[in-house]
Structure 1
């Protein structure tokens, strides 16, 4: 797991070596295990590791590459979290998965499962994206793996699909009434 040494030392990524030393000395005195009032051995170890990396120009240059990659991931995550269409798309995929499994169960109650590859093909969603949706639907109790390892809708999932269909139908009727 990536550790943000700049955040740990509460300094800017543009901090010079004098600033790094000054801040390190402050935190080292504060968290040193010998300090009766504020000593914290694990925090001291983290600060020491951050200092050792950031004071060495070669190690810092290597770390800064990782830091920029981490920063890009955080920016991407924040951007996706602020995008409502992502959530709407996810809801649509989850509804489609429930519908597929609902129809499969209705067509063959004795063999209601759909395998991983077939779910990927029918949903049009790549496996790496499906994992989140399948995890969510399983955690809600709306789908589950059956004895042969395929996915099938549960009674709770059927209730959810029916409730969603009823809500959509009511919304459409209200839209046409206006």
Structure 2
């Protein structure tokens, strides 16, 4: 059972908190390539930098810096991944027993919002080609394809997105309303800018 005590990785003297999931902090897949790690880090760092008047969060900013310091270094990341595998196994054990953690729900909600934001930007900037495949979304977000299956199923069932003739996902008017209303009422979260979305193609 994981504890709150930090655990030292064998061989390099690095110390990582057993219960800290750096991949979850950056909202990326454990298989994310270095470019994805850096791109997402920069996006989050800008948002949570203490100098940002509306979205600055010093504690969150420090957590993101700590995560990036490990995941951006191949050797540190390799050592961290040994512990991370154990963390994931423990988490999936709880899920299999029917007791998901609050963090799992929050992470899934965040994934759905990011999907909507990407499709929102796509609809605005390329109205004649508003759809993206699930594979496109997985690559943009650095998420495993299978993780987005649940998210896309939910969004389709709620009629926030639809599948076009090419089986691509595109946001609906209801999806636009939902996203804009959510962003007005909820605390600021990760927003993908149009520049980020288009720059990934």
Q: TM-score, normalised by structure 2?
A: 0.45
Residue 85 of structure 1 pairs with residue 103 of structure 2? yes
Q: Please, which runs of 5 or more residues in structure 1 have no aligned partner? A: 1-71, 172-178
Offset, 1:168 = 3.0
Deviations 1:18-67 (A, max 9, x none): xxxxxxxxxxxxxxxxxxxxxxxxxxxxxxxxxxxxxxxxxxxxxxxxxx
Higher alpha-carbon Rg: 1
User: Could you say which structure has the higher helix fraction?
Assistant: 1
Q: How do residues 116-127 of structure 1 correspond to structure 2 at under 5 angstroms?
A: 116-127=134-145
Q: 1:130 & 1:108 partners in 2: Cα distance?
A: 23
Check 1:78–1:149 CA distance in 2 against 1; reply closer, same or farther (3 A cut): closer
Q: TM-score of the superposition, structure 1-length normalised?
A: 0.50
Q: Partners in 1 of 2:152 and 2:183 — Cα distance?
A: 20
- The alpha carbon displacement at 1:78 in A equals 5.5
Cα gap change, 1:108/1:147 in structure 2, threshold over 3 Å: closer, same or farther? same
Structure 2 CA distance for aligned equivalents of residues 87 and 169 of structure 1: 16
Using CA pairs under 8 Å that are at least 6 residues apart, name the structure with larger relative contact order, 1 or 2. 2
Offset at 1:116? 2.0
Q: CA shift at 1:76, angstroms?
A: 3.1
Match of 1:129 among 131, 143, 147: 147
User: Structure 2: 5+ residue runs without aligned partners?
Assistant: 1-89, 190-201
- The aligned length equals 100
Q: Give the equivalent residue in structure 1 for 2:185.
A: 167
Say which of 142, 157, 161 aligns to 2:160.
142
Query: Which residue of 1 is the match for residue 174 of structure 2?
Result: 156
